[in-house]
Amino acid sequence: MKDFNLPDILQRYGIHADSCTISGFHRGHINDSFIVDVSGRCRFFLQRINHHVFKDPEGLIENLIRFNVAMQKHYGKEGNNPYPAIRQNRNKKFYHLDHDGNFWRMMDFVVDSRSFDIAETADIAREGAAAFGRFQLVMNNEDPAAYVPTIPDFHHLGKRLLQLQDAIAKDAFARKQQAKDEISFALDRLLFGAELESLLSDNAIPVRVTHNDTKLNNVLFENDSIKSICVVDLDTVMPGTVLYDYGDMVRTFTSPVEEDEPDPEKVVFREEIFEALTEGYLSELSNSLTKEEKEHLLFGAKIMLLMIGARFLTDFLEGDHYFKTARENHNLDRCRNQFILLRQLEEKETELQNIIMKYA
């Protein structure tokens, strides 16, 4: 654990450190997270918000409060709401600012839950996507203007591609030749950025409050079944489009291996998983999406695969300063795998579009 004064922080929430057990929660790479078990009676989730990534922590907390209110209104009685509540401290605030300038929040911990990193079966993919569909159905009633962009331009494909072009031009670490195939692949698809910008600027695709990080492991499932409980990692809940959320599900659900798999032969776009997640998502959401949204869902998958691949490639060219790496060419492997999936998607584009329209 980092050198945080956790007993003092817990005291701010009315919890004595000697009455609880504190353990680190190591999933995720942005915030510092801890599970607080109070004498075996209840558990809380304590987090330090990384204010270097989320530069407006107070705005982030306001988003989370607004989200909590929306879910409580939707589910009615408190016992029916599966989403963990954010807790006030003794000063009636929903965050604590410590002496070092760190922002802390306390939430209920979702007990008897688990998550999956890989969609091992179609049933898991279907239920995971349905959870995001149910989440989105509630968020469709929210005003995007009321939510702060917690990471501005997070999914701005045009800007991500400009950053890549700048990294290519500078080639500060002399890695351009090593990544020449990936660079060529990305540059051949620069028009994706302009196409997305046109759809958004013409209001053909509406701005909604979206999750913006729809990885499978951001869905909590019951311990003894594949029934989903709720969606977590809500720090990126902000204005966006369902193209991002559907696209990121396709990006992260369809491969049978982790995104940093070093063997490209193992990276396969699984059409049966694609169909399952599409069925799950649209079973909850189809009637509330516009015709244009449904028609462009597959484009959402293409832009997310290109965008994340471009971000990995940019970081590789810039010396691996953003994403954590554990081996040589780690970011290049990550980039390559995104582009493999995108190439395979493009080869099956007609069939995949037909699957979407089947459920839309």
**Complete domains list, the chain, with CATH:** 6-111 (3.30.200.20), 122-359 (3.90.1200.10)
Q: What is the pLDDT of residue 36?
A: 86
Tokens, residue 118: 């890989």
Q: What is the pLDDT of residue 2?
A: 65
- The secondary structure element, H or E, covering residue 240 is strand 238-240
Averaged over 309-314, what is the pLDDT?
98
Q: Is the pLDDT score of 133 beyond 90?
A: yes
Averaged over 86-103, what is the pLDDT?
92
Tokens, residue 50: 């990384």
Give tens-digit pLDDT for 182-229.
999 999 999 999 999 999 998 889 999 999 999 999 999 999 999 999
d(CA 63, CA 266): 39
What secondary structure does DSSP assign to 118-136, as a single string? S--SHHHHHHHHHHHHHHH
Give tens-digit pLDDT for 95-116.
999 998 999 999 999 989 999 9
Q: Is the pLDDT score of 78 beyond 60?
A: yes
Averaged over 322-338, what is the pLDDT?
94
What secondary structure does DSSP assign to 184-236, as a single string? HHHHTTTHHHHHHHHHHHTTSS--EEE-S---GGGEEEETTSS-EEEE---TT
d(CA 85, CA 98): 22
Q: Is the pLDDT score of 165 beyond 60?
A: yes
Query: What does each C-alpha distance from 310 to 189, 193, 200, 328 come to in angstroms?
Result: 11, 12, 21, 18
d(CA 358, CA 350): 12
Position with higher pLDDT, 18 vs 123: 123
Averaged over 264-273, what is the pLDDT?
98
Contact indicator for 212, 155 with CB cutoff of 8 Å: yes
pTM for this predicted structure:
0.92
Q: Is the pLDDT score of 297 beyond 80?
A: yes
Give tens-digit pLDDT for 168-180.
999 999 999 999 9
Q: What is the pLDDT of residue 29?
A: 59
d(CA 228, CA 211): 16
Q: What is the pLDDT of residue 231?
A: 96
